[in-house]
Amino acid sequence: MQRLVATSLNTVTLQEVEKPEVQPGEILVQTLVTGVCGSDMHALQGHHPFVPLPYKPGHEVVGIIREVAADVKGFSIGERVTIEPDLPCWNCKNCKNGNENLCENLRFFGCGYEQGGMADYWTLPAKRFHKVPESFSDEAASLIEPLSTPVHAVKLSCIGNKDLTGKTVAIIGCGTIGLLTLVAAKHFNAKKIVMTDLLPGKRDRAKRLGADVVLDAGSSTLPSDVRAEFGESVDIVFDCVAIQHTISQAIAMADKAGTVMVVGVPAKEVTIPLPIIQDHQIRIQGSATYLPADYEDSIKIIGTKGFNALDFVTSVFPKEESQKAFDTAIAGDQIKVLIRFS
Ligand SMILES: [Zn+2]
Ligand SMILES: [Zn+2]
C-alpha cells in the first residue's frame, strides 16, 4: 500500500509501506477521500506550532471499513465511516469530565502520529469512528470533521444559552474555517453576521453563502466599520485568522462586554490590551477541535436541505497528484481541497 508523507519543506511523497495490522479494539479502513486541512498546509510550510516535519498527514478522512477486530461491536465490513482524529488517553481529569479534546496526554492521528489518513489503509480504535449517512456524497462526508471545529466554537460561545438567538456575530476571515463558522453560526440562530476579509473574491463567496454583511478587512477603520453595522459592540467575534492584527481588531469589535473566540490556529504569541480586557469585561475564549456531540451536529447540518457540499469542496485530486493538491490548497483561492485514494 501507499502512504503520503510530508518529507520536507513544501514536499509530499507517496511511499510504499506495510499495510497496518488490526490490533484488539481497532478497525482497518480503506481511504476514499481525505481533506487537506489548514493545519496540514501550515505544517508543510514549517509554520505549525506543534507539528514538525517530517510527518504523516491526513486527519479529515472518509473511508470504507475493510476489517474489524474480533472484540469490536457496532461496526461491520463495508460501512462508510469518518473519524475523530484526536486520540485521548481516556484516563486524565479532562477525559473523565467528558472533555477528551483537552486530554492531557493527547495524540492526534495525522499530526505527528505513526499513521495518517493520507494512505490507502490505516487503523484506529473503534471508539473514534462515526458512520456516514448513506445519502451523503464522499465530498459531503469529508466536511464532517472540518465543520465540527466551528460547531464546537459556536456552542462554546453560547455560554449558558441554548444557541445564538438574539446575538450579533462578526467572523474575521472568509477562508475555509470562516465560511464553516458562518454555516454553524447560522444553524445556531445568530441574529446578524458580519464577515471580514482582505480579498474581494472571498468576501463575495461569504455573501453568497449567507453572511448578512461583508466588509473589507483592509480598511484602517475596520473595528468601527463592523460596530457601525450593529450600532454597538459585537456580542461574539470569531477570529478565524488569529494573528496580532486580527486579535486586536476582534477585541476592539467586542469592546465592551463581548466575547472573542479564538478559532484559527495561531502561529505565535500575540499581545492583548489587558486593562481593556479587565475593565470592559471582555472574554477571550480558546476553542480546540471537537467532541462526539459536535460531530452529530455537523452531520445534522450537512444533511439539511439546501446544504451543498460542492460550495465548499472546490477541487479533488487523485493520490498520484498529492503534491499538486497541496500546492493548489496553499495557493489560497480554494475552500476545501480533497485527495482521492480509491
Ligand atoms: Zn483539520
Ligand atoms: Zn486524557
190-229 pLDDT per residue, tens: 999 999 999 999 999 999 999 999 999 999 999 999 999 9
pLDDT at 145: 98
- Mean pLDDT within 18-27: 98
- Whether residue 303 lies inside any domain: the answer is no
Give the whole-number percent of the chain exceeding pLDDT 90. 94
Which ligand places an atom closest to the C-alpha of 290?
Answer: 1
Distance of CA 233 to the CA centre of its chain: 27
Collapsing DSSP to helix, strand or coil, 170 comes out as: strand
Which ligand places an atom closest to the C-alpha of 102?
Answer: 2
324 and 262 in a single domain? The answer is no
pLDDT at 112: 87
Which ligand places an atom closest to the C-alpha of 265?
Answer: 1
Cell of 47: 509554520
195 and 88 in a single domain? The answer is no
137 and 156 in a single domain? The answer is no
Q: Which domain holds residue 332?
A: 2-143+312-340
Which ligand places an atom closest to the C-alpha of 103?
Answer: 2
Orientation of helix 144-157 relative to helix 176-187, angle to 10°: 60
Which ligand places an atom closest to the C-alpha of 90?
Answer: 2
CATH number of residue 225's parent domain? 3.40.50.720
Structure confidence by residue, pLDDT tens digits, 264-319: 988 889 999 999 999 999 999 999 999 999 999 999 999 999 999 999 999 999 99
Total count of domains within the chain: 2
Structure confidence by residue, pLDDT tens digits, 146-158: 999 999 999 999 9
Cα angle at 144 between 139 and 145, to 5 degrees?
A: 115
CA–CA distance, 94 with 117 (Å, rounded to integer): 26
96 and 115 in a single domain? The answer is yes
pLDDT at 50: 84
17 and 132 in a single domain? The answer is yes
- Whether residue 295 lies inside any domain: the answer is no
Structure confidence by residue, pLDDT tens digits, 237-255: 999 999 999 999 999 999 9
Structure confidence by residue, pLDDT tens digits, 33-89: 999 999 899 999 988 888 899 999 999 999 999 999 999 999 999 999 999 999 999
Whether the full predicted model's pTM is greater than 0.85, yes or no, is yes
Distance of CA 132 from the midpoint of ligand 2 (Å): 26
Distance of CA 224 from the midpoint of ligand 2 (Å): 42
13 and 138 in a single domain? The answer is yes
Distance of CA 61 from the midpoint of ligand 1 (Å): 10
